[in-house]
A and B are shown apart, each in its own frame.
Chain A
Amino acid sequence: MKTIEDIPDRQLLLFKSCMVGQEYPGVETSTRYVFDRLGVDYCINDEQSCCTGIGHYTDIFEGLTTTAIAARNFAVAKRCGYPNITCLCSTCYAINKEACEVLNTNTEIREKVNSIFREQGLEDLVYEKDDMNVRTNFYHAVEILLSKANKIQEQKKFDFSGVKVAAHHACHYYKVKYLDVLGNPENPQLIDTIAAACGADMVRWYEDRTLTCGMGFSQLHLNKNTSLQVTKKKLDSLQKAGVELMIHMCPNCHIQYDRYQPVIEKEFGVKYDMVHMNIAQFVALSMGADPYKVCGFQTHSVPLEGFLEKYCQ
């Protein structure tokens, strides 16, 4: 198990996420805003590529391709001196961690990947066993925020007390490498603890708290009906619990809840009262960041104006 003391705040490579970049760029800028104010030492490197997660989990990329792309990104991280890969997306986190494990434990695949690098004239990407450590080189940005919860509490400008908030933790953060979760993987509380530091009134248990968001990679596209039924189940539970704000930690969940809430309302003839944010957006907002120039709320489908007027005046 990871412990809070293990979480670094130096040499973090803030790992760019494709879905954040294209759908909710404010998640990246909010994370940077908060990291800057918390004195976290991080860098962003344009040479880092997509983790392949979207293609890997739609069955397009095979394991060898995914592992080789990950090895390249590890070389990028090490080369720039920021080897602590810190992800905005839970799938990037899981893919990188799994690929590192394969590279360290499976000699045949490590050698195959390295022989591909050599054949392609990419010798500087060659991965030596234990170049990266599965346990100590991979983080999700939410873990960094949690390790700084006290500082966040000191620096907050708005107090969200009285706002009913619920968390959705990302499946690929706590169900893939479940032994490496901060806290109990059966009941993760990372987002709850951080949001509570911002004063939010957390609804700790609601029905279906651990149910997946419903995106399911190919499922949203190929089995849309089931995909939206899963999402609806979750939104129904939140509505029943009187939640006003749902906070998540992964752009895929974010798309599913924020983009598809209006679609579900239309297709199923229901109405929901909650709005959505990533935890970094929420923390940035509570520290006084501009809702549009930093948090990027104009990219959301469920409008946040009402929420902002009510609580951030």
Chain B
Amino acid sequence: MMPYVNEYDTPECKTLAETAKKSIRTPDSLGLDRCIQCGACTASCPAARFTDYSPRHIVKKVLEDDRSVLESEMIWSCFYCYSCNLRCPRNNSPVTIVQVLRQMAINEGIGVEKLAYFLEIGEYLAENGASKIPGPGVKNMERDLGEHWIKFKKNLESIRVELGLSSRDIRNTHGEVQAILEGTGYFEREKWLKAKIQEKRLHQLLKNQCVKKEDKSGDFSFENDRGYTGQAALII
């Protein structure tokens, strides 16, 4: 399948750094070239504290135009907490750069299977004008949170009424949100994503039947990436 280029998040440029700077996801004032590799971002980073992830290192890879960063599991570990954004003394913003890298990876079909979990958010928004925890998330929450939460969810409508709210939080968008998602090409991209996920699953299935699973975790030239496979995704 052809890659799907999403031109505002990932404008096509000669280098990773240029794409990051031009992207709608990063601020105009992005201090990428000003990065002094001081590590304040990594020191503030919750993901760095508990995994081998390092925003300083990601920024370095981008400055070196090392595209292997797109294949690293690392970029999927960020919490989007913006601590690095606040603490960087050079007005760089590793968090928004990581967002661009994820979008670039997605364009090439890397990591798309992770999006399967969240994909129904788009259709739900178009229909109801609101977002919700996606179905697989609800399943995992039911398992984790148990009876108490399941019962609360069953009673949500009557609780809302008791509080003086409408029974369901549905917005009256006159079909405008649906029309906007059509106009921006969201649905087209969603279709591409679904097909790509399907293709990858099929591919994986065939591969599992033929060869023993190879370990693809290392060799992305990250100091610490060797052996880091990310964590197993929860069931979908």
User: Which residues of A line the B interface, CB within 8 A?
Assistant: 16, 18-19, 21-22, 25-26, 28-29, 46-50, 52-55, 57-65, 67-69, 72, 101-102, 105-106, 109, 112, 116-117, 119-122, 125, 171-172, 174-176, 178, 185-186, 210-212, 214-219, 221-227, 229-230, 233, 259-260, 262-263, 292-294, 296, 298-299, 301
Report how far A19 CA is from B180 CA in the complex, Å: 22
Interface-facing stretch out of B31-39, B82-90, B214-222: B82-90
Nearest chain B CB to A235 CB, angstrom units: 14
Does B136 lie within 8 Å of A18, measured CB to CB? no
Main secondary structure of the interface of A (DSSP, over half): helix
Identify the closest chain B residue to A292 (Cβ): B162
Does A301 lie within 8 Å of B148, measured CB to CB? yes
B165: interface (CB < 8 Å): yes
Does A222 lie within 8 Å of B117, measured CB to CB? yes
**8 Å CB contacts to A: which residues of B45-100?**
46-47, 49-51, 76-83, 85-86, 99
Nearest chain A CB to B29 CB, angstrom units: 10
Identify the closest chain B residue to A231 (Cβ): B46
Identify the closest chain B residue to A28 (Cβ): B165
Interface-facing stretch out of B13-21, B169-177, B203-211: B169-177
Chain A residues whose CB sits within 8 angstroms of the CB of B180 once the complex forms: 65, 68-69, 72, 116-117, 120, 122
Q: Which of B159, B182, B230 has the most CB of A within 10 A?
A: B159
Report how far A230 CA is from B129 CA in the complex, Å: 32
Nearest chain A CB to B110 CB, angstrom units: 12
Does B184 lie within 8 Å of A64, measured CB to CB? yes
Does A217 lie within 8 Å of B79, measured CB to CB? yes
Does A176 lie within 8 Å of B85, measured CB to CB? yes
Chain A residues whose CB sits within 8 angstroms of the CB of B23 once the complex forms: 63
Chain B residues whose CB sits within 8 angstroms of the CB of A211 once the complex forms: 46
Does A46 lie within 8 Å of B171, measured CB to CB? yes
Report how far A140 CA is from B24 CA in the complex, Å: 24
Chain B residues whose CB sits within 8 angstroms of the CB of A25 once the complex forms: 156, 159-160, 163, 165, 169
Chain B residues whose CB sits within 8 angstroms of the CB of A61 once the complex forms: 121-122, 186
Does B165 lie within 8 Å of A29, measured CB to CB? yes
Identify the closest chain A residue to B182 (Cβ): A120
Chain A residues whose CB sits within 8 angstroms of the CB of B160 once the complex forms: 21, 25
Does A263 lie within 8 Å of B144, measured CB to CB? yes
Chain B residues whose CB sits within 8 angstroms of the CB of A101 once the complex forms: 27
Chain B residues whose CB sits within 8 angstroms of the CB of A298 once the complex forms: 152, 159
Identify the closest chain B residue to A173 (Cβ): B82
Knowing A50-B130, A62-B186, A65-B184, say if A214 contacts B46 (CB, 8 Å): yes
Does A52 lie within 8 Å of B79, measured CB to CB? no
Nearest chain B CB to A217 CB, angstrom units: 6
Does A105 lie within 8 Å of B28, measured CB to CB? yes
Does A219 lie within 8 Å of B186, measured CB to CB? no
Report how far A268 CA is from B89 CA in the complex, Å: 37
Identify the closest chain B residue to A227 (Cβ): B79
Knowing A63-B9, A72-B180, A230-B79, say if A47 contacts B174 (CB, 8 Å): yes
Identify the closest chain A residue to B28 (Cβ): A105
**8 Å CB contacts to A: which residues of B131-164?**
131-133, 136-137, 140-141, 144-145, 148-149, 152, 156, 159-160, 162-164
